[in-house]
Amino acid sequence: MNAQETLIKTGIPSSFAVWRSEDGRVDPPEAYITHTQMRVEESHADDSVQEHRLFAYVNLWCKGNPNALAAKVRAAMYADGWSMAEEQQEYVHEAKMNRVSWTWTITEDAQDAAGH
């Protein structure tokens, strides 16, 4: 499972770690998503890893009210089986943007993860 695959479904520009222009823009769009991901071993049996737990750290940045866009992120993540561990909303003065931050989690079979 890859958070980027899920976040693309929101229609909001998204990129790993920091905003990166894909069309040569210098300034970021009015709204965009950045994210990182971490995988840890979740369960073991017969001396091998059976499951991994993935954590996706997602940040929605926007100049206006983030509520409608945040709802799109929630809907996409829930639809793909992710569970929300936490959500925080704040205004970041330095960026002059609203930020909604989440930690999402999902468990995957270790055999499925072997291809990632």
Distance of alpha carbon 29 from alpha carbon 103, whole angstroms: 23
**Cβ atoms 97, 62 nearer than 8 A:** yes
Distance of alpha carbon 35 from alpha carbon 17, whole angstroms: 5
DSSP structural state of residue 26: S
Nearest to 92 by CA among 66, 57, 55, 56: 66
Token pair recorded at residue 75: 């809907």
92 SS3 class = strand
Token pair recorded at residue 52: 């991994």
Residue 115: per-residue pLDDT: 56
Q: What is the mean pLDDT of each run of 10 residues along the chain (116 residues)?
A: 92 87 77 92 74 92 97 98 97 96 90 59
**Cβ atoms 41, 8 nearer than 8 A:** no
**Domains in the chain and their CATH numbers?**
3-113 (3.30.2000.30)
Residue 31: per-residue pLDDT: 96
Residue 105: per-residue pLDDT: 96
Distance of alpha carbon 16 from alpha carbon 18, whole angstroms: 6
